[in-house]
Amino acid sequence: MHILLLAMRNIARNRRRSLVTIAAVAAGLIALNLFGGYIVNTYAGLKLQAISGERLGHLTIYKRGMLLEGKLHPKRYMFDATESSRLSDIVRSAGGVKLVSPRLSISGIAAASNGRASSIFIGEAMVPEDMAILRGELQEGAGGSLSPGKNYGVAVSDDLAKLLNYKLGDTITLLSSTIDGQANALDGQIVSLFNTGNAATNDKYLLLPLTFAQNLLDTQRVERFVILLDDAALTDSKRTELGARLQSAGFDVEIKTWQELSSFYRQVRGLFDMIFSFIASIVFIIAALSIANTISMTVVERTREVGTLRALGLGKPGVVGLFATEAGWLATIGTFAGLLGTVALALVINNADLSYVPPNSSYRVALLVDLDWVRISAVSMVVIVLALAAAILPSLRAARRGIVDALAHT
């Protein structure tokens, strides 16, 4: 009779209690795994949104000081045409780079074609051809798109379009200050209407071709370069490599990753990670207490049996090992049941076509669960280890009891 089999038979002795314990462990794990799966899906969506939707790419290269003083002295911190060309060549020569995309930020006033209404805008200018590469797997229509070849084609956010009564194909007049502070205005044509996904920007955001923005600002300079890598996992190492290459070429730059630039991603991730840790703590406590309670009751009920085993030659470590094995079985079966339940419920949720409007969002997103097996394995291991730890105290109590005392227990 192997101790594993003996422990399993002991678990089966009080089926109802064991089932309640297993169910508690399984239910806790299902909740935790599904929530973990949901946040993994959310992180993936936010990552895609940040890299492709917010057009942040993987890395962004600024002249050092641009982020602090760029608004005050734009000319000083922008790359001129020669620098832009050299920098692009250096970055592309590093390898593993899919796209080097020059950018300009711009703001001003957008006016309706009849001139009767106007509203402030903030915009981002980029090469239209870059957008198709940057969008990657982003779904059609999300984040707006520019039309290659249309140098004055502008993508306008939904609420701004509503505000100024724009339709696709309409002319849009953009007024802004040139880089030297002169007023300037240019007409463009609306080629796309899009939802920014953020209620705070959906009534003022637009995208425009880089040449259009440069003409409006009356400059050939660009503000920054967005780098899209072949492999997102190399983001940090590429940052280091590119920083070194550019420094040796005489550029004084700072390079930011997409995580650093997407404050929304950081905030959501921080919040979800905290909630996950909180829920995980509760689940772990419930699992540990359930198992400790079961083992404690078992120890009391089987005191005389422990005395018999001790009298027949089982040592104190053997007693602890027996009850710890029973706790391990309860946790393992609970974990396995939790895994089955997680997979089943994840399938149901992913096929139920559920959606919701996230806070501060202007459109619905699908509620999906991505099973993160690394996280699930880690959580399962923690539950099993906690179960073993929870069994130690009652097991030690049983082991320490005198044989005669245990045998006399009624």
Partner 1 sequence: MLAELERAPARAAVHKHAAIDPRKKLSLPIVNLLGLHKSYKQGHSVVQALQGVDLHIEAGEMLAICGPSGSGKSTLLNIIGLLDEPDAGEMLIDGRRLSELSSRAKADLRSSSIGFIFQSFNLIPVLTAIENVLLPLRLRGKTTSADEARAESLLRTVGLKDQVRVYPDRMSGGQRQRVAIARALITRPMLLIADEPTANLDTENSLMVMELLAQLRSEQDVTCVFSTHDHRILKHMSRIVSLRDGRITLGDL
Q: 4 vs 205, 317, 328, 344, CA distance in Å?
A: 65, 15, 10, 29
In 3-state terms the chain splits into helix, strand, coil percentages (rounded to 5) of 55, 20, 25
Among 95, 96, 317, 402, binds partner 1 (CB under 8 A): 402
- Cβ pair 118, 258 in contact under 8 A: no
- Minimum Å gap between C-beta 293 and partner 1 is 21
Q: Does residue 304 belong to the site contacting partner 1 (CB under 8 A)? A: yes
Phi, psi angle pair for 214, to nearest 5°: -65, -40
Assigned token pair, 24: 């508690």
Among 315, 354, 377, 400, binds partner 1 (CB under 8 A): 315
Assigned token pair, 121: 């805008």
CB of 150 or CB of 316, closer to partner 1 = 316
Give the binding range for partner 1 (CB under 8 A) out of 54-62, 129-137, 174-182, 402-410.
402-410
CB of 311 or CB of 378, closer to partner 1 = 311
CB of 123 or CB of 307, closer to partner 1 = 307
CB of 365 or CB of 396, closer to partner 1 = 396
Distance from CA of residue 115 to its chain's centroid?
A: 43
Amino acid at 181: G
- Cβ pair 357, 364 in contact under 8 A: yes
- Minimum Å gap between C-beta 16 and partner 1 is 16
Among 67, 314, 345, 389, binds partner 1 (CB under 8 A): 314
- Cβ pair 191, 141 in contact under 8 A: no
Between β-strands 224-229 and 59-63, what pairing exists: parallel, antiparallel or unpaired? antiparallel
Assigned token pair, 251: 């550029």
Is 79 in a helix, a strand, or coil?
strand
Burial 266-275 (b: 16+ CB within 10 A, else e): eebbeebeee
Rg (CA), the chain: 31
CB of 129 or CB of 305, closer to partner 1 = 305
- Minimum Å gap between C-beta 305 and partner 1 is 6
- Minimum Å gap between C-beta 372 and partner 1 is 39
Q: Does residue 409 belong to the site contacting partner 1 (CB under 8 A)? A: no
Q: Does residue 313 belong to the site contacting partner 1 (CB under 8 A)? A: yes
- Cβ pair 134, 101 in contact under 8 A: yes
CB of 149 or CB of 313, closer to partner 1 = 313
Residues 6+ apart with CB under 8 A from 287: 24, 25, 28, 29, 331, 334, 383, 386, 387
**CA pair distance 222, 62, nearest whole angstrom:** 10
Q: Does residue 403 belong to the site contacting partner 1 (CB under 8 A)? A: yes
Q: Does residue 305 belong to the site contacting partner 1 (CB under 8 A)? A: yes
CB of 204 or CB of 310, closer to partner 1 = 310
Q: Does residue 308 belong to the site contacting partner 1 (CB under 8 A)? A: yes
**CA pair distance 141, 153, nearest whole angstrom:** 16
Among 56, 127, 206, 309, binds partner 1 (CB under 8 A): 309
- Minimum Å gap between C-beta 306 and partner 1 is 11
Among 109, 168, 200, 311, binds partner 1 (CB under 8 A): 311
Among 4, 9, 85, 271, binds partner 1 (CB under 8 A): 9
Q: Does residue 12 belong to the site contacting partner 1 (CB under 8 A)? A: yes
**CA pair distance 134, 120, nearest whole angstrom:** 27
- Minimum Å gap between C-beta 30 and partner 1 is 30
Q: Does residue 76 belong to the site contacting partner 1 (CB under 8 A)? A: no
CB of 138 or CB of 403, closer to partner 1 = 403
Q: Does residue 404 belong to the site contacting partner 1 (CB under 8 A)? A: yes
Phi, psi angle pair for 105, to nearest 5°: -100, 145
CB of 4 or CB of 340, closer to partner 1 = 4
Assigned token pair, 149: 């070849």
Q: Does residue 400 belong to the site contacting partner 1 (CB under 8 A)? A: no
Residues binding partner 1 (CB under 8 A)? 1, 6, 9-10, 12-13, 304-305, 307-309, 311-315, 318, 402-404, 407
